[in-house]
Structure 1
Amino acid sequence: MKNLIFTALALFTVTFAFSQYDAKALETLEAMSKKYKAIPAFEANITSTMTNETEGIKEEFKGKITVKGDKFRLALEDQEIINNGVTVWTYLPAAKEVNIDNYDPGSDEINPSKIYEAYKKGFKYIYLTDKTENGVLCEEIDLIPEKRDAQYFKIKMMIGKKDKNIQSWTMFDKSGNKYKYTINKFTPNAAITDAFFTFDAKKYPGIEVIDLR
């Protein structure tokens, strides 16, 4: 009986250590991060999918994300989010309103301009397997937050095995929702000015400005 207990404890220790630090996952994540950090600015056409199997929900949107350093602009069919590293604008065309708030880099919210660095702070990482997605052989890696009360309990990253490009990432929340972002077209070294990452309400007559700062 005592030997069984020791064996179980040993297996638990090995499993726990593995979940804390996975060298193979880290190698891939570091190579991926290095690649994206070397690109001054990029654009990507994406597909955003929200599913909840329990509720029978599946919503899909096409969009575009533009990233330059800490700045990003995410344009979806129903909203546009613009972040210049200091201020965040959320524009809702159907409602003719824009919400303005301060950007909090310390929040648990996943910043799409920093998805390639998410693993560096507050996450464990686990390499799962090689899997083909949309015709691309990828390395499947799970990021598990160290905080139990984190907004998402898991982020699944699919990273191209050959080129280390992000093929997709999926965020899982505790209510059963899955938010998947798939890269359809990637354009590196895009010529983008800093002015692109601000929202000028004067260009939208009749818009309601809701300042939450």
Structure 2
Amino acid sequence: MIRLPAIIILAAASLSLSAQNDPAAVKVLENFSAKATKAPSVSMQFTLETVDQVEGTSNRLKGSAVLSKDRYRIELPENILWYNGENMWSYLPDVEEVTITKPDRNDDSFMAKPSAIFTIWKKNYKSRLLEERTASYLIDLYPEDINSDHVRIRLEIGKAGLDLKGLEYKYKNGITVMLKVTGYDLSYKPDDSEFAFSAAKYRGVEIIDMR
């Protein structure tokens, strides 16, 4: 008969093991991260779908992004975003208006800091290789902070090129954001000017400075 202290020790050991990172997932993530962060930039074309399970609604749109370190340019049908590492410009073509802000550097969500997806797994998350498919890996990231606003992040990483195939954020409020990558390139060398709004290019646009 197992005594109570022994049961407690076994239970604690079990919980400790379940909380550890999956070595198979870490190996894939290390290679994926190294390849993306060593590149001059990551260029992507994607389809972005947002599903609200509470309201029973969904929205889908296509976009593109160029990421270089923490800098980025994201183009969506009704919005263009530039971030040069310090300031962010959000341009709304329909109303010819651009808003300048200083984003929260601690916000690692895809829309706030897209490049974080290549390194976010290194801290504050536990990783698990959910499935190894013929051409890709499915890896889940679980936040260690129980007060996090999301339940998990799911990555689909291609086997051959270690490229990002898909990304899914599942939030506690019933919203799921899914990004399906349709184009992925690591060879493009962007100019610094691509990560800042150009007043000369967009003449007559109203500028709202919220910094």
TM-score clears 0.5: yes
Number of the residue aligned with 1:113:
115
TM-score (norm 2): 0.87
Task: Provide the C-alpha distance between the structure 2 equivalents of 1:42 and 1:83, rounded to a whole number of angstroms.
Answer: 15
Number of the residue aligned with 2:173:
175
User: Structure 2 matches for 1:10-49, cutoff 5 A?
Assistant: 10=10, 13-49=13-49
Deviations 1:91-134 (A, max 9, x none): 122232222111332234341123111111221111111246xx
User: Structure 2 matches for 1:1-213, cutoff 5 A?
Assistant: 10=10, 13-110=13-110, 111-131=113-133, 137-213=135-211
Provide the secondary structure at the position in 2 that maps to 1:199.
coil
Alignment: residue pair count? 209
What is the deviation of 1:140? 1.1
Provide the secondary structure at the position in 1 that maps to 2:44.
strand
What is the deviation of 1:90? 1.4
Task: Provide the C-alpha distance between the structure 1 equivalents of 2:160 and 2:4, rounded to a whole number of angstroms.
Answer: 43
- The letter of the residue matching 1:20 is Q
What is the deviation of 1:201? 3.1
Q: Taking every aligned residue pair, what percent have the same amino acid on both sides? A: 28
Deviations 1:56-99 (A, max 9, x none): 21211111111122211111112112111111111122232222
TM-score (norm 1): 0.86
The CA RMSD over aligned residues, in Å, is: 2.3
Question: Is the alpha carbon distance of 1:201 and 1:173 closer, same or farther for their aligned partners in structure 2, counting shifts above 3 Å?
Answer: farther
Gaps of 5+ in 1: none
Gaps of 5+ in 2: none
- The letter of the residue matching 1:203 is K
